[in-house]
């Protein structure tokens, strides 16, 4: 029996799909949760305690703690208070509250947003190339003269058009 290119595309498509199922689940979950990153939907309040340089002003403290528009609200003794916590300019100790994603979700989102500076960026490249392979190989899943193939092409075109329309809305 002679095996054509369609046979090999289907074979690789099937096993690569099984292999990537877990990765796809992680990217799907992190992608959906990233939609809510500007809000506090999944975040929990965590109290942080950090030692900084003494004698920081409001702007420098805000930069160090990554808090925008930090402003001192009151001073008691040596301690300055702000909305999220307090800072002792004598010792440099800051105690403040931040909202963070749970540990696992945070790791998943960092994987999703990895850049070339991240040690796992290669996984994003591999995953992206694999998804592109799925797009191409899906057209070898059925014979071109079948009804299901023709409907598949129509649905692919509709999906592409819908995405382009949404991009420009």
pLDDT in tens, 7-62: 888 889 889 989 989 889 999 999 999 999 888 999 999 999 999 999 999 999 99
Nearest to 40 by CA among 115, 91, 79, 98: 98
Predicted confidence band of residue 108 (pLDDT cuts 50, 70, 90)? very high
Does the pLDDT at position 5 exceed 90? no
Does the pLDDT at position 92 exceed 80? yes
Nearest to 142 by CA among 6, 5, 2: 6
Contact 96, 83 (CB under 8 A): no
What predicted TM-score, i.e. pTM, was given to this entire model?
0.70
pLDDT for position 144: 87
Query: Residue 77 region, left (φ>0) first, then alpha (ψ -120 to 50), else beta?
Result: left
CA dihedral 158, 160, 114, 99 (to 10 degrees): -50
Direct distance between the N- and C-terminal alpha carbons of the chain, in angstroms, rounded to an integer: 51
Nearest to 128 by CA among 111, 141, 142: 111
Higher-pLDDT residue of 76, 143: 76
What are the beta bridge partners of residue 96?
A: 48, 85
Contact 100, 46 (CB under 8 A): yes
User: Chain centroid to CA 139: how far?
Assistant: 29
* Cβ count near 158 (within 10 Å): 10
> For the chain, what percent of residues have pLDDT higher than 90?
69
Across residues 79-85, what is the average pLDDT?
A: 95
């Amino acid at each position: 029996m002679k095996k054509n290119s369609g046979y090999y595309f289907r074979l690789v498509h099937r096993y690569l799909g099984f292999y990537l199922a877990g990765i796809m689940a992680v990217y799907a979950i992190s992608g959906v949760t990233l939609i809510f990153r500007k809000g506090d939907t999944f975040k929990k309040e965590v109290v942080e305690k950090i030692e900084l340089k003494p004698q920081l002003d409001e702007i420098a403290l805000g930069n160090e703690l990554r808090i925008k528009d930090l402003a001192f609200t009151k001073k008691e003794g040596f301690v300055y208070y702000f909305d999220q916590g307090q800072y002792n300019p004598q010792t440099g100790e800051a105690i403040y509250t931040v909202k963070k994603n749970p540990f696992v979700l945070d790791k998943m989102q960092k994987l999703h947003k990895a850049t070339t500076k991240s040690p796992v960026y290669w996984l994003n490249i591999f995953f992206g190339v694999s998804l592109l392979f799925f797009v191409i190989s899906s057209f070898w899943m059925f014979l071109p003269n079948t009804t299901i193939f023709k409907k598949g092409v129509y649905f692919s075109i509709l999906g592409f058009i819908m995405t382009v329309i949404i991009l420009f809305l």
